[in-house]
């Protein structure tokens, strides 16, 4: 079956080599976590030489197993494996942690064999769940997903969201390897070396568990074989190990986390000296990528101009339509599909709809895993609850993962449910994500267009939707490119420009009508693309009017007001700016009462414009 399966003695020597190379890499760098690599080296040796199926020349081979080093700080172990597999050479190994090296402190997809960045603990398993789901339900290819995890990170709730989901979905293509070296960063882990404690917990969630001595290569080999042979449930191999195994000065000792060995040369000698064993990693099976062919001639949903439709409804309908023309689109829900309208997609494309229950970290991590397999995931929940997944989103950006997130029930306009349900920080969170696209439509046709556009965005794309119905302003012929905006009112007499997005676009138009009656002409810009923002249109408005006012159903920090200010943060002369947003903690009230109370309804906007224009007249 596989080329040159090494014997146990060879495996033990390979394990030592991985340790030696991890020690050398960290020593060359002057930093890093060699002791965390050393504990898992024998597990890694067995996996690489006997179980992994992977073509290092073709990292995009659809049949490749997936390997996630969830304990990303053990990166020198991963790089030593790559070297043993012939994928990197010794010279590159010793570039570890230096500028421009692919071998970063924690693994990132700058290396073609790394699917997703790790280093924020507890994310490997939930992402692996996404990959394993893709393997079973979407690709339908028998690759296996191996997640090598530390013991300390088992304290993260994200891990237990994944444990629960993998158990329920019976993901027998997923194997969790837990390196129980009993020592965390500042001392013993919660459970220490109690392998049974991990086993009891995982079994309670429906997992198959195996306990082994993680330095007994034959035992590890048997456990991985048993894991591979297990059908109907995921397997966890719980391996008791020593941190810093093989070097007496550091082995199983506290205070040795995250630093090179005191005497690398002596350590290498104690580990048996350098070796250059090469592993012929077993190739993946020949398989074919499976994508549903797109349907022809399907049209996006149509909305009547002058009617009223909630943008969340438009999202659901547009996503369902997009799913018909694009076979790569999948939809992910966290028990709120009836609110976000993700359920519209599920009705039409049940094979590509995934339910994660109330577990937002798993929701987004699964999207990352599926995206890494070439699928185009749209994950939606309330905008407020996407904050649960903030760290997963942050890491998705480090991975350059093309995922699409949708936050519904944005802002105070949701009304009576109160502040716990209001997404008021989501724009700030999503704008600060590097390379992100942030969209906030005000009506249904715009939403539909943006849903289609975001499917091709390069990184993390975010769409913000509104609970209540809003008037349909645009027609099916209107285009809304990412980075654009729409000037909804303008004249050569404009004395200020109101910049709005989403629900406040309608309030801004109302304000403009109120002001018009008083003879104050104002421009209104619909800044549906909050990032990238349409700097040029804003700069033109500033040149024409000298006064900009932003109104957003969001905190004054980090959202639309900040985006507009950033358009003038390149040293150019800046206009007068006023930003209206939600200050303080709102309470329950109707949507209209809320908008008025926080000062972003038409009347409040008009009042602020009056003040701004008056000030500009006094000191132009």
503 in contact with a second copy (CB under 8 A)? no
Choose the stretch contacting a second copy; rule: CB under 8 A; options: 118-126, 172-180, 324-332, 465-473.
118-126
**Contact pick of 218, 432, 469, 487 for a second copy (by CB under 8 A):** 432
312 forms bridges with which residues in the sheet?
none
439 in contact with a second copy (CB under 8 A)? no
**Contact pick of 97, 326, 409, 467 for a second copy (by CB under 8 A):** 97
Beta-strand ranges (E) seen in 305-423 are: 308-310, 329-333, 353-355, 376-382, 404-408
3-state secondary structure of 406: strand
Choose the stretch contacting a second copy; rule: CB under 8 A; options: 138-146, 226-234, 475-483, 590-598.
590-598
**Contact pick of 277, 325, 397, 607 for a second copy (by CB under 8 A):** 397
CB of 361 to a second copy, least distance (A): 6
> Quick one: 536 or 583, whose CB is closer to a second copy?
583
Bridge-based pairing of strands 235-240 and 353-355 is unpaired
Binding residues for a second copy, total number by CB under 8 A: 122
> Quick one: 94 or 577, whose CB is closer to a second copy?
577
Of the candidates 388, 422, 393, which has an alpha carbon nearest to the alpha carbon of residue 408?
422
> Quick one: 213 or 335, whose CB is closer to a second copy?
335
Choose the stretch contacting a second copy; rule: CB under 8 A; options: 41-49, 84-92, 382-390, 442-450.
382-390
State yes or no: cis peptide before 331, omega within 30 of 0.
no
CA distances from 501 to 297, 521, 575, 598 (A): 32, 20, 20, 16
Would residue 490 be called left, alpha or beta, if left means φ above 0 and alpha means ψ between -120 and 50 degrees?
beta
The alpha carbon torsion through 607, 613, 617, 620 (nearest 10 deg) reads 140
CB of 465 to a second copy, least distance (A): 16
112 in contact with a second copy (CB under 8 A)? no
> Quick one: 228 or 566, whose CB is closer to a second copy?
566
Choose the stretch contacting a second copy; rule: CB under 8 A; options: 133-141, 212-220, 372-380, 558-566.
558-566
> Quick one: 184 or 300, whose CB is closer to a second copy?
184
**Contact pick of 568, 599, 603, 610 for a second copy (by CB under 8 A):** 568
**Contact pick of 65, 139, 161, 313 for a second copy (by CB under 8 A):** 161
Of the candidates 513, 517, 518, 519, which has an alpha carbon nearest to the alpha carbon of residue 489?
513
CA distances from 254 to 40, 41, 237, 266, 549 (A): 17, 19, 24, 20, 57
Looking at residues 28 to 57 of the shown chain, list those that interact with a second copy (rule: CB under 8 A).
Answer: 29, 31-32
CB of 156 to a second copy, least distance (A): 6
Looking at residues 175 to 204 of the shown chain, list those that interact with a second copy (rule: CB under 8 A).
Answer: 184-187, 189-190, 200-201, 203-204
- State the DSSP string of 586-618: --S--HHHHHHHHT-SHHHHHHHHHHHHHHHHH
Looking at residues 349 to 378 of the shown chain, list those that interact with a second copy (rule: CB under 8 A).
Answer: 356-362
Looking at residues 4 to 33 of the shown chain, list those that interact with a second copy (rule: CB under 8 A).
Answer: 29, 31-32
Whether the Cβ atoms of residue 459 and residue 483 lie closer than 8 Å to each other = no
**Contact pick of 70, 241, 311, 339 for a second copy (by CB under 8 A):** 339
347 in contact with a second copy (CB under 8 A)? no
DSSP 183: B
> Quick one: 46 or 613, whose CB is closer to a second copy?
613
> Quick one: 403 or 547, whose CB is closer to a second copy?
547
Surface-to-core class of residue 171, CB atoms within 10 Å of its CB (0-12 exposed, 13-18 middle, 19+ buried): buried
Two structure tokens written together for 86: 């012939």
Which residues, 6 or more positions from 539, have their beta carbon under 8 angstroms from its beta carbon? 567, 568, 572
Looking at residues 229 to 268 of the shown chain, list those that interact with a second copy (rule: CB under 8 A).
Answer: none
Q: Choose the catalytic residue: 360, 425, 507, 552.
A: 360
217 in contact with a second copy (CB under 8 A)? no
CB of 573 to a second copy, least distance (A): 6
Choose the stretch contacting a second copy; rule: CB under 8 A; options: 39-47, 302-310, 431-439, 502-510.
431-439
**Contact pick of 36, 39, 108, 149 for a second copy (by CB under 8 A):** 108
How far apart, in whole angstroms, are the C-alpha atoms of residue 448 and residue 170?
36
Whether the Cβ atoms of residue 371 and residue 109 lie closer than 8 Å to each other = no
> Quick one: 16 or 436, whose CB is closer to a second copy?
436
Note the maximum CA span of the chain.
Answer: 89
How far apart, in whole angstroms, are the C-alpha atoms of residue 23 and residue 10?
20
477 part of the active site: no
CB of 101 to a second copy, least distance (A): 7
Helix (H) or strand (E) holding 318: helix 311-325
The residues carrying an active-site annotation are 360
């Amino acid at each position: 079956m596989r080329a040159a399966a090494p014997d146990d003695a060879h495996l033990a020597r390979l394990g030592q080599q991985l340790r030696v190379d991890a020690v050398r890499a960290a020593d060359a760098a002057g930093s890093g976590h060699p002791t965390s690599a050393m504990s898992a080296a024998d597990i890694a040796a067995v996996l690489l030489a006997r179980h992994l199926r992977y073509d290092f020349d073709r990292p995009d081979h659809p049949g490749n197993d997936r390997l996630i080093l969830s304990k990303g700080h053990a990166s020198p172990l991963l790089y030593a494996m790559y070297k043993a597999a012939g994928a990197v050479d010794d010279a590159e190994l010793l570039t570890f942690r230096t500028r421009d090296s692919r071998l970063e402190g924690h693994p990132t997809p700058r290396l073609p064999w790394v699917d997703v960045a790790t280093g924020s603990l507890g994310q490997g398993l939930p992402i692996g769940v996404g990959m394993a789901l893709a393997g079973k339900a979407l690709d339908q290819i028998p690759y296996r997903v191996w997640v090598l995890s530390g013991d300390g990170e088992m304290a993260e709730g994200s891990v237990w969201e994944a444990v629960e989901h993998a158990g329920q979905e019976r993901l027998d293509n997923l194997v969790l390897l837990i390196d129980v070296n009993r020592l965390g960063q500042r001392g013993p882990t919660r459970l220490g070396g109690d392998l049974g404690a991990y086993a009891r917990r995982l079994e309670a969630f429906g997992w198959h568990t195996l306990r082994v001595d993680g330095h007994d290569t034959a035992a590890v080999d048997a456990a991985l074989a048993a894991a591979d042979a297990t059908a109907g449930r995921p397997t966890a191999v719980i391996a008791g190990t020593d941190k810093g195994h093989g070097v007496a000065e550091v082995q199983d000792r506290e205070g040795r986390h995250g630093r090179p060995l005191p005497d690398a040369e002596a350590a290498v000698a104690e580990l048996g000296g350098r070796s250059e064993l090469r592993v012929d990693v077993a190739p993946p099976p020949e398989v074919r990528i499976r994508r549903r062919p797109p349907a022809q001639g399907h049209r996006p949903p149509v909305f009547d101009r002058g009617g009223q439709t909630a943008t969340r409804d438009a999202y659901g309908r547009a996503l369902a339509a997009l799913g018909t023309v694009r076979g790569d689109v999948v939809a992910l829900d966290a028990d709120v599909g009836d609110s976000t309208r993700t359920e519209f997609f599920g009705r039409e494309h049940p094979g590509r709809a995934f339910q994660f229950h109330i577990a937002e970290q798993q929701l987004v991590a699964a999207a990352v895993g599926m995206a890494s397999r070439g699928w185009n995931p749209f994950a939606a929940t309330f905008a407020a609850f996407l904050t649960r997944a903030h760290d997963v989103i942050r890491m998705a950006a480090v991975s350059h993962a093309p995922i699409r997130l949708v936050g519904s029930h944005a802002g105070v306009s949701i009304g009576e449910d109160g502040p716990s349900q209001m997404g008021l920080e989501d724009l700030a969170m999503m704008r600060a994500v590097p390379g992100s696209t942030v969209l906030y439509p005000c009506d249904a046709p715009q939403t539909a267009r943006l849903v289609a556009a975001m499917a091709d965005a390069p990184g993390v794309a975010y769409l913000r939707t509104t609970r209540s119905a809003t008037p349909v302003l645009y027609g099916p012929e209107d285009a809304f490119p990412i980075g654009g905006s729409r000037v909804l009112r303008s004249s050569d007499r404009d004395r200020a420009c109101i910049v709005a997005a989403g629900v406040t676009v309608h309030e801004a138009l109302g304000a403009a009508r109120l002001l018009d009656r008083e003879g104050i002409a104002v421009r209104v810009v619909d800044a549906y693309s909050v990032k990238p923002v349409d700097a040029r249109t804003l700069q033109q408005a500033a040149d024409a009017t000298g006064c900009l006012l932003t109104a957003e159903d969001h905190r004054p920090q980090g959202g639309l007001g900040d985006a507009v200010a950033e358009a003038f943060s390149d040293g150019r002369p800046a206009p007068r700016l006023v930003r209206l947003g939600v200050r303080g903690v709102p309470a329950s009230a109707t949507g209209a009462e809320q908008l008025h109370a926080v000062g972003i309804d038409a009347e409040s906007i008009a009042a602020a414009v009056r003040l701004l224009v008056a000030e500009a007249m006094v000191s132009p």
